[in-house]
Structure 1
Amino acid sequence: MDIGNRTPRAAQADAQPASAAPGRRSPSRGGGRRPGQSGTREHILDAALELFAAKGYSGTTMRAIAQQARVDPALIHHFFGNKEGAFQDAVASRLDTAALFDSLTAASAQSAPERPGERIARTFLSFWESPSTRPALVAVYRTGLSDEAASRTFRDQIEDGFATCIRHLAPLGGETVPALASLVSAQLAGLVMLRYVLHMEPLASLDFEELIEWYSPALDVHFD
């Protein structure tokens, strides 16, 4: 029979590969979903991080990650096992907590004793200002609001890193360092929550240098 006399649906059925099961989408269809080629894992991590930063851990589903990455949901399970695995790998792909606090410690070593607060604020907040590391930090902090267990590993690393950094800055006894680190990290946590996570104005739009100038003295008092 001449295909030109058949309906478009019938012609499309003839053109479909024989291996395609009835009712199953062929690889070339489905809104541009990506096959499992090289680079797909990284693409999924970027999509997952975007969702975790925007909606937190509890507000993100495996299906939503698959839709955001435009891949089959089975790939998410293949690469990460479950949502917790996707979260951990997505954050770790952008946030190296060891490198972050190595930078803080190096900066503290060069800091004048009377201005440790500025060094800490400038170095730590620069990671929040960077488009590369900000999504991972936002994801950790937003997740901590609703699912403490999911973000506990990264939060513990951040707290340990702060204690190490403060030890280089504060000429205090070892028993005092954890309390001082907690005070400094609590102040910074409040700042980053309002500026970078909740986008509260006018703080969210404040010039970075102006922010450092105004905020540093609030940290310096802990080292006075």
Structure 2
Amino acid sequence: MTERSQLPLLTILERRNQVCLFSRSSCLDGVFTEVDSKGRYREVERSYFAAGILSNLLTNTDGWESEKQREDACEKLLELIEQYPALPSAMVSYKSFVPFSRIVQESKSNGAIMWCLWGVHHVLQHREKNNAPTYDKGYIEMFMESGLSPIVEEMSRGHSRHLHNIDIRVVHLARQIHEIVSAEPPITAGGAPVMTLAAAN
């Protein structure tokens, strides 16, 4: 067997090792209410970024030892993210929501999708003080351009063309995002808010 023919097997084994590491790792867990001397929720930060890796692994169905292992990892993500508190300030910023959109559209995992929605909801909540670092676009406009809007709206009604059984925790988070976006004035193609009669008065 040549080195080249062994690569697919090695890739599968490496992926299985990653799956085992992140689905069982203590880096996902923490005391999420703890605040350090600088006012940062370090445990949430560490868990959130580790959960992002697991979310990407969940999106790919290869490398899992069994469907039960994958389902257990999915449930672990749902339970973890449900424990994250509403943070008083943004712990992260994004230049694009497209990576989230890819996972939401491709993943069959409620846990992976909930991680994406939590990240989007988090930055939307703090968009006034922590807007998109590209400066020419705000997070609302980024959200609308990412393709997430119709998907999140559908999920907020308890439906999903991507998931057979959408989890109620995903539905609740989708509703919160939909409420934030719906409360904003419509955005034109040029990125400027549309002036309504109520706003003009």
TM-score range, shorter chain: 0.3 to 0.5
Larger RCO, structures 1/2 (Cα 8 Å, 6+ apart):
1
* Rg larger for: 1
- TM-score, normalised on structure 2? 0.32
